[in-house]
Structure 1
Amino acid sequence: MSSSPSLIFALLVLISAVATVSPVAATDHIVGANRGWNPGINYTLWANNHTFYVGDLISFRYQKTQYNVFEVNQTGYDNCTTEGAVGNWSSGKDFVPLNKAKRYYFICGNGQCFNGMKVSVLVHPLPPPPTAAKHSKLDSAAHIVSHWGLWSLMVSYALIWFGFGSF
């Protein structure tokens, strides 16, 4: 092969960087799942089966000519009123970002709140990434040896494959 060692090294560094990055993706929580945002559904039960984190989305799917969504405070939620609402949506396919760790309250503002069209979700802060301090020394050492052993094996294989003994 006529590739330069620096090009191979750069390629290996890029591959290792991509391989070690763990993507953090937001979850889109679709209210009511396949039943959507409609009267007569127990949204408290639905919400209790989900864990919400900062950065997630909550989505409402409904007939836009029949329903809507308002973000309200606890009083508005408890009394089914939109007075003092902090947000409202009416597209029928609404995506609401959950940007703060707090309790959010959503209701349908056309009277259907009294028929159960309201949901409250507690949004948690993102959990901290795992640290070596949370693992035993043996687990941490095994992880490091495993990680670097795999990395060394990949580099050695690449060097042999491309015919380079050293840089």
Structure 2
Amino acid sequence: MKMSSSGGLSFLRLLLFICAAASTTTLVGATDHIVGANRGWNPGINYTLWANNQTFYVGDLISFRYQKNQYNAFEVNETDYDNCTLYGAVGNWSSGKDFILLDKAKRYYFICPNGCFNGMKVSVLVHPLPSPPTAAASSGHSSSNKTAASGQAVSRPGFFIIIGALLVSLSSIWV
């Protein structure tokens, strides 16, 4: 493939940079927590039990799935949550398929006003993102043993940045 203009070269480099950036962000993807799992946002479901079986981190999403013209979701304060009221509501969603970013480490409270007394309320505790392991903590230990013991994968997003930079450099050979 031979490109004759410098605009084509710039476009190719931009495209390669975007691909490299996209591959980096997929490593650190957020979790989408669908409220009620396959049962959705409906009356008569124990959302406290559901929430207690989830671990929420900053950057995760909480999703509400329900019949659009029948229910909705409001973010409220603790008092409104306890009393099923909307006086301190800070958010309102009504699309039937709502994705809400949990962008702070705190407790969030959500209710559906016309279903709240029938259990349509959920409270979730969002934790800060765990710190990556430090070099001092891992020195003298095999990282593969540490990973296997903890059951957690260690991601290396820097690897994808290096690959992306390499691809951008190689693009000058292709043109």
Q: Give me the TM-score of the superposition, normalised by structure 1.
A: 0.69
1:152-167, aligned counterparts within 5 Å?
none
1:128-139, aligned counterparts within 5 Å?
128-135=131-138, 137-139=140-142
Work out the CA distance in 1 between the residues paired with 2:135 and 2:75: 40
Letter in 1 for 2:58: V
Equivalence for 2:123? 120
Equivalence for 2:51? 47
SS in 2 for 1:29: strand
SS in 1 for 2:28: coil
SS in 1 for 2:142: helix
Gaps of 5+ in 1: 1-16, 144-167
Work out the CA distance in 2 between the residues paired with 1:45 and 1:132: 38
Shift of 1:135: 2.9
Work out the CA distance in 2 between the residues paired with 1:75 and 1:65: 26
SS in 2 for 1:65: coil
Runs of 4+ more than 4 Å apart: none
Gaps of 5+ in 2: 1-19, 147-175
Is 1:98 aligned with 2:98? no
Is 1:57 aligned with 2:61? yes
Q: Percent identity?
A: 80
Work out the CA distance in 1 between the residues paired with 2:46 and 2:95: 22
Work out the CA distance in 2 between the residues paired with 1:138 and 1:52: 29
Shift of 1:136: 5.1
C-alpha RMSD of the superposition: 2.6
Work out the CA distance in 2 between the residues paired with 1:138 and 1:65: 57
SS in 2 for 1:137: coil
Work out the CA distance in 2 between the residues paired with 1:129 and 1:135: 11
Shift of 1:57: 0.3
Which structure's CA Rg is the greater one? 1
Shift of 1:64: 1.0
Work out the CA distance in 1 between the residues paired with 2:39 and 2:141: 48
Count of equivalent residues:
126
- Aligned CA distance change for structure 1 residues 95 and 138 (closer, same or farther; 3 Å): closer
Work out the CA distance in 2 between the residues paired with 1:133 and 1:43: 41
Equivalence for 1:76? 80
Work out the CA distance in 2 between the residues paired with 1:128 and 1:138: 18
Shift of 1:132: 2.6
Equivalence for 2:157? none
Letter in 1 for 2:76: V
